[in-house]
């Protein structure tokens, strides 16, 4: 069983640059990445709900731009008449 000093110096894990060690670390990193993404997908809001939010924002932007154009046209007409 490794001592506390050996554990702190990471003697329990290989630290060399061999192909085997790098492959094992790559596999472990892939495992952690897939686990994280899987957990993230479980806690994401439904895509339908977020899609409706985006569509609402687009409609709001279009409506606001139309109102801005109408107000600018009305002010331009008032300015030309005066």
Q: Are residues 39 and 1 in the same domain?
A: yes
32 near 24, Cβ under 8 Å?
Answer: no
Q: Read off the pLDDT of residues 36-54 as tens digits, 9 standing for 90 and up.
A: 999 887 877 667 777 888 8
Mean of the per-residue pLDDT values of the chain: 86
Q: Are residues 20 and 51 in the same domain?
A: no
Tell me the three-class secondary structure of 22-65, residue by residue. HHHHHHHHHHHHHHHHHHHHHCCCCHHHHHHHHHHHHHHHHHHH
User: Model-level pTM greater than 0.85?
Assistant: no
- Count the domains in the chain: 2
Q: Are residues 4 and 39 in the same domain?
A: yes
Q: Are residues 38 and 63 in the same domain?
A: no
Q: Are residues 73 and 36 in the same domain?
A: no
pLDDT of residue 49: 76
Would the pLDDT of 4 be above 80? no
Q: Are residues 30 and 2 in the same domain?
A: yes
For 4, 29, 40, 47, the CA distances from 35, given in Å and listed in that order, are 29, 10, 9, 21
Q: Are residues 23 and 61 in the same domain?
A: no
* Residue 59's pLDDT band (cuts 50, 70, 90): very high
Question: What is the span of the domain harbouring residue 12?
Answer: 1-44
Q: Read off the pLDDT of residues 11-21 as tens digits, 9 standing for 90 and up.
A: 667 778 889 88
């Amino acid at each position: 069983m490794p001592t506390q000093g050996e554990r702190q110096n990471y003697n329990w894990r290989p630290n060399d640059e061999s192909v085997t060690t790098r492959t094992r670390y790559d596999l472990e990193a892939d495992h952690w990445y897939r686990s994280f993404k899987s957990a993230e997908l479980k806690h994401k809001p439904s895509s339908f709900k977020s899609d409706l939010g985006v569509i609402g924002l687009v409609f709001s932007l279009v409506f606001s731009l139309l109102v801005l154009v109408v107000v600018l046209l009305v002010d331009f007409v008032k300015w030309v008449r005066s």
